[in-house]
Structure 1
Amino acid sequence: MSEPLPRPARCDALPEHTDYRDTGCDLAPSCLACPLPQCRYDLPGGLAAMLRSRRDAAIADAVRRRHLPIDDVAEMFGLSRRSVFRALRRVERPGRQQ
């Protein structure tokens, strides 16, 4: 019986004996100390998208639960009426990019 062939190296395998430093980013000194629930670089749109999704949820709460008029919500968040409607649409259909 012949010996089995060695398995080929994975194309995404990390090199051995390499020093990977956890240098963090402008938000935290290291990834392990980061306050974000998910890395900003792993999300499409990065940190801006993460912050925008929180703002959009607050807008939806103000309009739907607190029944505030669109003009008042727009003024509260420093946005135009159209931006408030866009935020509401993003909350309704989270998978769609705009």
Structure 2
Amino acid sequence: MNYPAIVRVTKTIEEAEKVKSIFFGLEREVKPGQFFMILVPGEDEIPMSVSYATNLEKGITFKVVGRATRKLYEVEEGSVIGVRGPLGNGFSLKGKNILFVGGGT
């Protein structure tokens, strides 16, 4: 079973109206194409793409679209959240010419 890690939010940035980035300490390797399940306090788990990743810190960026993301938007620096993952089949980018086209938040 892949239990969620309880992590402390190290930084939040309000990117735009109802759009926020949340950063947290997590020492796990994340490959392109993988995602996290974020356990929102008082709500359910929701899938979130990784928007930032270093060896020691990870980040997610999201827009408020429902009850769970509204609750997650209220999370402040120093709060704790649950993080499960990374999940999904990652892929390697080494030795390839790549063009990224993205959408969403």
- Shorter-chain TM-score above 0.5: no
- Structure (1/2) with the larger strand percentage: 2
Larger Rg over CA atoms: 1
- Give the structure-1-normalised TM-score: 0.25
Q: With CA pairs under 8 Å and 6+ residues apart, which has the higher RCO, 1 or 2?
A: 2
TM-score by length of 2: 0.24
Higher helix share: 1
